Amino acid sequence: MNIIFASQNAGKIAEIRAKLPSYTIEGLNAEEFPDELLETGSTLDANALQKARQVFKKTGKNCFADDTGLEVEALDGAPGVYSARYAGEQKSSEDNMTMLLGELDGKANRKARFRTVVALIWEGEEYTFEGICEGRITTSRSGAEGFGYDPIFQPEGNETTFAQMTMEQKSIMSHRGRAVEKLVEFLKLHTK
């Protein structure tokens, strides 16, 4: 079964394909969607739904989108919905990590969580699924895997960052993995 994932992020697409092996997951076609999908909502839910609606309107096909935020307790939940462009519209992961580490410098409380919302449009109906991964922000970067804030996020109960894990290890405990598990359960129930 084909389903469109409203993303051109190769890392995200690979994670999703690993979780949905019995589906053909299509990333966004760059020719059909030359511009980035709009994300003008003030919440993760609103952004995920906005992206899914844009793809559904253009293609009429079953599709889903996600939005993820890193929520740091000592920063009152920031960067949150602005995680991708925390250090500016250039959306540089390096700049975002540098800014976040600078803001937490000297702070004892480094608790954080990743939260993902997946918005699905299935047969014209809208559904959302949430996944959360609790953890902490490290004091420096470690690891070369993953993307985004992975080199500075250490999930609860682990001694390594997401960037030090394989994709398989990360997907078992990650926020996106947990949200996608809920999506998978929904699809199993609705595609028999």
According to the model, what pLDDT value does residue 22 have? 77
Say how far apart CA 168 and CA 62 lie, in whole Å: 26
Q: Which fold has domain 2-190?
A: Maf protein (3.90.950)
At 140, list the tokens: 């420096």
∠ Cα 81 21 15 (to 5°): 30
| DSSP states of 53-89 | HHHHHHH-S-EEEEEEEEEEGGGTT-EETTGGGTT-T
pTM: 0.88
Q: Which of 35, 66, 67, 76 is catalytic?
A: 67
Residue 118 has a pLDDT of: 96
Tens of pLDDT, residue by residue over 46-69, are: 999 999 999 999 999 999 999 999
Active site residue 67: yes
**Amino acid (one-letter) located at 122:** W
Q: What integer pLDDT is reported at residue 192 of this predicted model?
A: 64
pLDDT value of residue 143: 96
pLDDT given at position 142: 96
The set of residues, in sequence order, having a beta carbon less than 8 Å from that of 17 and lying 6+ positions away, is 25
- Which ranges in the chain belong to alpha helices (H)? 10-19, 44-59, 93-104, 167-173, 175-190
| Chain mean position to CA 85 | 14
Q: Which residues of the chain have pLDDT under 70?
A: 192
Domains of the chain: which residue ranges?
Answer: 2-190
